[in-house]
Structure 1
C-alpha cells in the first residue's frame, strides 16, 4: 500500500487505519473474540470489546464471531455482539448468515434476537436459506418461526432444491407437515425431481403418504425418466404404498380439499379456521 504520495497517501493511510480500527473485517485465524463467542464467555467477550477488539473480524472461511455464537446458541453473546455493531447478515464462505446458523442449531432465542435486529429471512436466489437449514436439522420450532415471519416456502437452493426437498431427504416428518400445511408446493421440482422422489429414495412410507395426501404426483418423472416408485425396492412397504396410489384414484373429498386449498392460496390458508363453516370441515381442510 503506497503511503508517500500526498492525497492518495492520506486516503491509503485512512484505509489502513480503518482496517486496524475494525471498521471492516480482515482475513485471520479464529481470534479470542471468536473463541469467547463460541464458548459463551460473556465476561471475556465484553472485556475484549471494551479493549477495542473488532466484532466483525472474519476467519479464512469468512466466519464472524456472530456466526460462532449462533452456531452454539450463545444468546447473551449474540446480544452483546449485535450491540457492539456486529453485522447481522454477514455471510460466510458458504453464503450462510448468522440466522442460517441459529436455525441450524435450533436456537429459537438467537433467531428472535437476530430478527429483532433486522436479519433477512429470505436470502438471494439459489442459496440455502435459514428455512433450508432448519429443515435440514429437523428443527420444527425454527421452521414455524421462520414461516411466521415470512420465509419463502419455495426458496430454491441450486444444490438442495426447496425446503420441502430438504426435509424429505432428511426424513424430518414434522417439518414436512408444517411446510405442507403452510402451503408449500408439494410438486416443486429440482431437475424434475419432486419431494416424493426423495421420500421414495429413503423408503419412508409415512413421508410418501403425507405427500400424496397433499397432492403429490405419483406419476412425476425426474430427469432420468423415473417415477417415485422406481426408487423403491420391489415388494417393500413403500413400493406397495406407491403401487396402491397409482392404481387408486383420489377420492372426491380429497380432490375437493386440494382444490379449495389451492383456491384459498398460500396466504389465505391461515384464515381457514375463521371461515363460517362447520368445525369438521375446517379440521378437514386444515388436515387436523
Structure 2
C-alpha cells in the first residue's frame, strides 16, 4: 500500500498529496496501523489537496488515541507542535474546530495541551472552536474551551456569538455554561438577541433562563420587533414573555444581576469559592 501518491513539497508543513494511508488510519481510528505507519517513517503532516492533515481526520471522528499518536510523532521528528496543531484546511478549520464539532472533549483537551489556539481568526467559512462546541451541544467541550481562554463574544457571520449559536440549536445547558462564564446575555447580531432566537424557537426553557440572566425583553431587532412579537399568540413562550414583562423584578433577582454584572467573566470561578449555602449558589448560577 502506497503511503503517499504523487507528492510535491508544500511550504514548511510537509508533503502535499492525495489522501494517504495515514489519513485513512487516523480517520478510522486504527491506532495500531497508524503506529506501524509512523514507525515505518510515514509523514504525519502530509496534507491533501484541501489542506487536510491526518490530525484533522482523527479529530473529525473524535479519535483521541490516533490524535495523540500523531502529535507525539510530530514532536519526535522535530516539527513544531503548534504548527501542526493549528494547520487550517482550505475552508479554514483547525483540528480543534473539528474536535469541538465532533463533540470530543478528549481530542479538544489533548489539542489544548499541545498548544492549540483557542481563538483562531475567523474566516468566511468557519466558526471558532467554541461556536462549534455550542452548535454540536457538547457541554464538556464548551467548558474546556472557556477554561482554555476562548472568547465569549466573538461573532460568527452565520450565528453571531457562541450564545446565539447555542440558542439557535436550542442547547440550553451550553447556553447556561456560557452565561455563567460571563457571556453577555444581551449581545446582538444585527440587533437580534438570544431572547429573540428563543422566542422564534418557542423554547420556554431558554426564555426563562435568559430572563433570569437579565435578558432585555424590550430589545428590538433590525425589524423593530421585540422577542414577544416572534412568539406565537397564546403559546407558552408568549405567556412566559408576557408574564415576565408584567411582573416587576424582585430585590433578590436585582441583587443577583448586580453581583453577576460586577463579577463579569470571573463569575463562574469567583462565586464557586464563596462560603455560602448550596441553595444560594444554585440561585446565583440560575441552576
- Residue matched to 1:56: 45
Q: Distance in 2 between matches of 1:157 and 1:111?
A: 20
Q: Give the Å deviation of 1:177.
A: 1.2
- Residue matched to 2:200: 201
Q: Distance in 1 between matches of 2:31 and 2:144?
A: 26
User: Is the CA contact (8 Å cut-off) linking 1:18 and 1:24 kept in structure 2?
Assistant: no
Q: Within the alignment, does 1:32 sit opposite 2:21 as a pair? A: yes
Q: Give the Å deviation of 1:18.
A: 7.9
User: Is the CA contact (8 Å cut-off) linking 1:42 and 1:77 kept in structure 2?
Assistant: yes
Q: Within the alignment, does 1:65 sit opposite 2:54 as a pair? A: yes
Aligned residues: 271
User: Is the CA contact (8 Å cut-off) linking 2:192 and 2:220 kept in structure 1?
Assistant: yes
> Superposed, which structure 2 residues align to 1:125-274 within 5 Å?
125=122, 128-274=127-273
**TM-score if structure 2 supplies the norm length?**
0.86
Q: Distance in 1 between matches of 2:282 and 2:30?
A: 48
- Residue matched to 1:124: 121
User: Is the CA contact (8 Å cut-off) linking 2:26 and 2:57 kept in structure 1?
Assistant: yes
Considering only CA atoms, is the larger Rg found in Structure 1 or Structure 2? Answer: 1
Q: Distance in 2 between matches of 1:212 and 1:160?
A: 20
- The CA RMSD measured in Å over matched residues stands at 2.2
> In 2 relative to 1, CA 232–61 (structure 1 residues): closer, same or farther, beyond 3 Å?
farther
User: Is the CA contact (8 Å cut-off) linking 1:23 and 1:54 kept in structure 2?
Assistant: no
User: Is the CA contact (8 Å cut-off) linking 1:131 and 1:143 kept in structure 2?
Assistant: yes
Which consecutive residues of structure 2, in runs of 5 or more, have no partner in the other structure?
1-6, 75-80
Q: Distance in 1 between matches of 2:50 and 2:194?
A: 32
> In 2 relative to 1, CA 251–81 (structure 1 residues): closer, same or farther, beyond 3 Å?
same
> In 2 relative to 1, CA 46–282 (structure 1 residues): closer, same or farther, beyond 3 Å?
closer
Q: Partner of 1:259: helix, strand, or coil?
A: helix
**TM-score if structure 1 supplies the norm length?**
0.86
Q: Partner of 2:116: helix, strand, or coil?
A: coil
Q: Distance in 2 between matches of 1:115 and 1:67?
A: 14
Q: Distance in 2 between matches of 1:121 and 1:224?
A: 34
> In 2 relative to 1, CA 60–265 (structure 1 residues): closer, same or farther, beyond 3 Å?
same
> In 2 relative to 1, CA 276–39 (structure 1 residues): closer, same or farther, beyond 3 Å?
closer
